[in-house]
Amino acid sequence: MEIPDNSDVIIILFVGALSIISLALGILFFFIFYQKKLHKNELQINSIKAEHQKELLKNSLLAQENERKRFAEDLHDEVGAYLSAIKLSLSRIAKKTENEDTQELANETKIHVDSVISHIRRITRNLLPPSLEKLGLAKAINEFANWVNKSSIFVVDTWVTGRQVRFTPKYEMVVYRVFQELTNNAIKYSKAKTITVKLKFSGNYLYLSVCDNGKGFNMNESKNSGLGLKNIESRLSLLNGKYKITSKINKGTIAIVSVNISGHILS
């Protein structure tokens, strides 16, 4: 048996080491490729999940709006009609009776019915603002502000700038609900005297800001509070919109919303 010389041994060791290194590199590359493929698959799955969740959220909000519409129509058409009939009956009673106590009671009851009718109109407008569908977002916001101003408790100033455009009704409704949520938060929690609402149309973008001069709040302590921020975030996610809220104790609160409405502007 021939014993290999040192050069043959070195060559054999070199080839063996090279084979082991090649095998190790092959395993490493395969592992990296497999990890990338797994990561890509995870991203695709997460994307599908996100789209599915977005679709579920969209359907859920659409169902809520449909239910609001049905409820508002029932209030207006049925309950409102019955109350109007009762009001007419009370007027007839007050005219026909000669009893002063009965006349007074009928007139007082008619005043209460008028008050209920007014409240129903306000609720109906909040649920389904008629001006939103007919005249657009800016008009609906002004109308909401006018109703709040009638209370004489708050002053809501509205400013609209830029060339106003109409965009997809469901998108207008989403922005309107965000405006409602922000304004209602200011009314409920801020103890402000003035709420300033600005709506700016700027090309393909729409900007909304709601600012109050109220007591403000600690941003760190209120991240998970019931200020309706989750509702705002959920609604804006449907429009790929963004929002930012800043507040300081005794310095008021300002919320700014931006939405890209390109592709949704009506011609």
The string of DSSP codes covering 47-84 is HHHHHHHHHHHHHHHHHHHHHHHHHHHHIIIIIHHHHH
Rounded Cα gap, residues 232 and 208, in angstroms? 13
- pLDDT value at residue 201: 94
Rounded Cα gap, residues 32 and 235, in angstroms? 39
Look at 96-100, 141-145, 153-157 and tell me which has the smallest mean pLDDT: 96-100
Rounded Cα gap, residues 148 and 125, in angstroms? 12
Q: What are phi and psi of 189, to 5 degrees?
A: -115, -25
Average pLDDT, the chain: 77
pLDDT at 31 over 70: no
The pair of structure tokens assigned to 39 is 């990561």
What is the band of 222 on the pLDDT scale with cuts at 50, 70, 90?
A: low
pLDDT at 77 over 70: no
pLDDT at 232 over 60: yes
In tens, the pLDDT along 194-217 reads 999 999 999 889 999 999 998 988
List Cβ neighbours of 174 (8 Å cut-off, separation of 6 or more).
Answer: 61, 235, 236, 238, 239
| Distance set, CA 220 to CA 182, 223, 225, 229 (Å) | 18, 6, 10, 14
Neighbours of 165 (CB within 10 A): 17
SS3 195: strand
Look at 23-32, 87-96, 165-174 and tell me which has the smallest mean pLDDT: 23-32
- pLDDT value at residue 263: 81
In tens, the pLDDT along 47-67 reads 565 565 656 656 666 666 666
pLDDT at 4 over 60: no
pTM of the predicted model over 0.75: no
pLDDT at 78 over 70: no
Q: Print burial letters for 18-55: b (CB count within 10 Å at least 16), e (below 16).
A: eeeeeeeeeeeeeeeeeeeeeeeeeeeeeeeeeeeeee
